[in-house]
Structure 1
Amino acid sequence: MAIIADVSSMKTRGKGMAFVGMAFSLGFIIGPLIGAIFAVWAKTKVGDWFVFPALFALLLSFADLIFFIACFKETLPPEKRAKSIKASLKTANSFINWRDLFQFKAVTGLRSSDLYELRRLGRIYFVYLFIYSGLEFTLTFLTHHVFQYTSMQQGWMFFAIGITMALVQGGYVRRVPPNKIRPTAIYGLWIIVPSFICVGLAQGPFLLYLGLFLFAVSTAMVVPCVMTMASEHGKDHQKGTVMGIFRSLGALARALGPIFASIAFWSVGSKVTYLSGAVGLLWPVLTLTQKL
């Protein structure tokens, strides 16, 4: 019975991660289109026109915060919550200190094998998102300077990427059985390598679109599956801590990746940047395929 419950719980977490990914994909669809509409509108304006899209984004952030406060309730029982502000701050430090993040110091009492696997998944997730976010961020540079895309064309490009991600996550990833989650993550990691190669070598629309399609499919597969694998570790009251650390690693990767990719893009060019990214992405997939 315990085994059945564990499998059911894993399947539920997998579906949950897929639905979260679908929500992200929908944001990926709508956000760039709104930005493109603002860019087109800005051509008819003079002065500090950029204040309006910034205020619109701020309004959305506040609406998101209000919705979260109103609709999401604390599920952790009072007896398991932090007893003091000092204890909370001490725990919070483990989520902002990058060394502690990679070591998963906030997760205690794990077996050495579980802790090793968590740290390995964390490094894989970080490297993947670090390189992935670099291409994602510099796509606007590439399509504008190499393919002369307008702002609206770029918006439609991201719309297509988001649609692809939503369809893959909603139609395929959420139905992946528990015993196929790891292989699915590995397939997704393999797929993004030729994606970077195609985009880096693209001189026309075919290679570019092929690379972006593989890019979207890879993201739809890798992120939910790796997060689901991470959620298997730790006791029930530690799940939130584990997932919080993974989200922090993802945020760190998304903060640093675009900086390094932008420097490389403008220093050595798009071809060298993306082909180097393809080589770098071999490490996550080869690491994940290794047995403990």
Structure 2
Amino acid sequence: MVQLRSRTLHTSVTELKEDAQKKDVPKNAPRSSPAMYIVFFSLLLDLLAFTMILPLMPSLLDHYRLNDRPNGLYSWLQHKVKYFQVLVGAPDQFNAVLFGGFLGSMFSFLQFLTSPIVGAMSDVFGRKPVMLLCLFGITSSYILWALSHSFAMFVFARFVGGLSKGNVSLSMAIVTDVSTVAQRGVGMALVGIAFSVGFILGPLIGAIFAKWSQSQEGDWFVMPAMFALGLSVLDILFVVFFFKESLSKDKRSKSVAKSISQALAYISITDLFQFTPVRNLPKQKLEELRGLGLTYFVYLFLYSGLEFTLTFLTHHKFHYSSMQQGWMFFGIGLTMAVLQGSWVRRLPSHSMKKTSLLGLLLIIPAFFCVGLATSQPLLYTGLFLFAVSTSMVVPSTMTLVSQFGTDAQKGTVMGIFRSLGALARAIGPVVASICYWSFGATVTYCLGGACLFWPWYNLRKSTIK
């Protein structure tokens, strides 16, 4: 995947002129920057470490349920939810769904707090030093995970990891720094491919560790934690030696105080949805940006909640083992990678809205199929539609976003969108987990699928082109 090249690298002079006439691209359009592929590889290392915990989560929660101290955090939480469990008639096995949902929401809520600050600070000090700060924080979280002999320590490790997860929004800002409008879709698709490949290999690695752990006693999670730590250290070294600063000093924001005050404004939910920190945009552009932000938030709120409970659905409904779940994520990620690598990354910038609309439309039957599935074929149909939709929506939406703001504001705009996404992912898993815990999988997935019609409708009627 690292060897993927944008179309401009293979286009002859004649073809480039024809493209310029058809797409209004300058005839002397520069080649795609190597920084795009450096971002791709850095994200890939990060996501391999990050996603390997997905199939491990049920096993980790079972481990702490059995091995945490009698007066530890797990027992305390179990005692607190007992009343509501009896009230709604939820079985004991669904407690792990609820605790997992709270952990996922906590992680994303911390991203919501830090991503805009990271984006704004990188507009002042440059992308590379802020990126390295994030990566050192992520590395620290894996060290804490390896030492987490109690559930409280594991939660703290996730806390540190969530605080440090601003590297994704920075990666998107870097792509914007080094690309032209015509090339931006390629860069965003590469980010999507990194996610796809991460979801192909990361969960599979985690599933292998989960299967290996069945024959182990004690703190079996130390080995996967150390593996994630090794990937994180390699990521730091790669960025230090290969990434060159993408935001030149003459394009940076000049006022540290102004950037900090803007970053603090991002924590205000009202200011966030109003895009208050983005200054001097024409009124129509600002309204378009706000509408796109709301659409993105609602989509990710519904999507992330249902995505998070997928491992629990397959575990409870189809009795999937960790290895089977690893292969499930492998299939989803492979489908996404093939589509993004062969098709999505080649799409011209003017077709991004159409692509996003198609992806939003496909996710609706995807979740209906998964929720109603009582057999493997219907489940696989839903998962295939889920993978196809995911490969389309986020890269095309991020390309639409990248057209807003000046050079000095790109990190701010991307940081706000990343923060909106983090807020959606902070609320989505816990809401979906409570719904799953209270009403079961079928109601949760069908209700979520029906609600996903709104983001499609809202984007369709917008004036964004």
Give the match for residue 451 of structure 2: 280
Counterpart Cα distance in 1 of 2:423 and 2:400 = 20
* CA–CA separation in structure 2 for the residues paired with 1:202 and 1:93: 45
Q: Give the aligned partner of residue 187 of structure 2.
A: 16
Aligned residue number for residue 235 of structure 1:
406
Instruction: Give the counterpart of 1:67 among 238, 255, 265.
Output: 238
- Range with bigger deviation, 144-153 or 241-250: 241-250
Structure 1 residue identity aligned to 2:306: L
* Aligned 1:246-265 pairs, distance under 5 A: 246-265=417-436
Aligned pair 1:210/2:230, yes or no? no
**How far 1:94 moved relative to its partner?**
3.6
Structure 1 equivalent of residue 144 of structure 2: none
What is residue 289 of structure 1 aligned with on the other side? Answer: 460
* Residue of structure 1 in register with 2:360 after alignment: 189
- Deviation of 1:238 (Å): 2.1
Q: 1:137 to 1:114 in 2, by over 3 A?
A: same
Which one-letter code corresponds to 1:240 in the other structure? G
Give 1:4's aligned residue. Answer: 24
Q: Which moved further from structure 2: 108-117 or 9-18?
A: 9-18
Question: What residue ranges of structure 1 are gaps of 5+ in the alignment?
Answer: none
2:405 and 2:244 mapped to 1: Cα distance? 22
Q: How does 1:264-275 map to 2 (within 5 A)?
A: 264-275=435-446
Counterpart of 1:159 (choices 309, 323, 330) is: 330
1:113-149, Cα deviation, whole Å (9 max, x unpaired): 1111111111111111121111221111111111011
Distance in 2 separating the partners of 1:208 and 1:223: 23
Write the deviation string for residues 188-215 of structure 1: whole angstroms up to 9, x where unpaired. Answer: 1000000010001000001100000000
Q: Is the 8 A contact 2:288 2:462 kept in 1?
A: no
Q: CA RMSD in A?
A: 2.1
- Whether 2:133 is the aligned partner of 1:113: answer no
Aligned to 2:327, what secondary structure does the other structure show?
helix
Counterpart of 2:333, as a letter, is: G
1:258-277 Cα offsets, whole Å, 9 max, x none, are 11111111111001100111
Report the CA distance between 1:85 and its aligned residue. Answer: 4.5
Distance 2:314 2:297 in 1: 26
Higher normalized contact order (CA 8 Å, seq sep 6+, divided by chain length):
1
* TM-score normalised by structure 1 residue count: 0.93
State the distance in 2 between where 1:171 and 1:230 align: 22
1:149 equivalent to 2:320? Answer yes
For 2:183 and 2:252, how far apart are their aligned partners in 1? 25
Equivalent in the alignment of 2:6: none
In 2, the alpha carbon distance for the partners of 1:24 and 1:209 equals: 21
Q: Which residue identity does 2:294 align to in structure 1?
A: R
Q: 2:25·2:182 contact (CA, 8 Å) conserved in 1? A: no
**Equivalents in 2 of 1:31, 1:277: separation in Å?**
27
Partner of 2:203: 32
Q: Which amino acid aligns with 2:331?
A: A
Question: How far apart in 2 are the matches of 1:55 and 1:210?
Answer: 36
Rounded to whole Å, the distance in 2 between the matches of 1:114 and 1:81 is: 22
Q: Matched residues in 2 for 1:173 and 1:109: separation?
A: 32
Gaps of 5+ in 2: 1-19, 30-179
Deviation at 1:58, TM superposition (A): 3.5
Paired residues, number: 292
Tell me how far apart the structure 1 counterparts of residues 402 and 253 of structure 2 sit (CA, whole Å): 22
Q: 1:241: Cα distance to partner?
A: 2.0
Deviations, residues 27-54 of structure 1 (Å, cap 9, x unaligned): 0111100110111111111112123323
Amino acid across the alignment from 1:173 = V
Q: Is the 8 A contact 2:253 2:408 kept in 1?
A: no
User: Secondary structure at the residue paired with 2:362?
Assistant: helix
Q: 1:207-253 deviations in whole A, cap 9, x for unaligned?
A: 10000000010010110111111111222332222222212222222
Comparing 77-86 with 44-53, greater Cα deviation is found at 77-86
Residue type of the alignment partner of 1:159: F
Larger Rg: 2
Give runs of ≥4 in structure 1 deviating > 4 Å: 82-85
Deviation at 1:83, TM superposition (A): 4.3
Q: Counterpart of 2:309 in 1: which secondary structure?
A: helix
Deviates more, 1:148-157 or 1:93-102: 93-102
Residues 224-233 or 43-52, more deviating? 43-52
Aligned partner of 1:4: which letter? D
Paired letter, 2:262: T
Residue 6 of structure 1 deviates from its aligned partner by 7.5
1:40-96: CA deviation from partner (whole Å, max 9, x where unpaired): 111111112123323332333343234334332323232443446434422322444
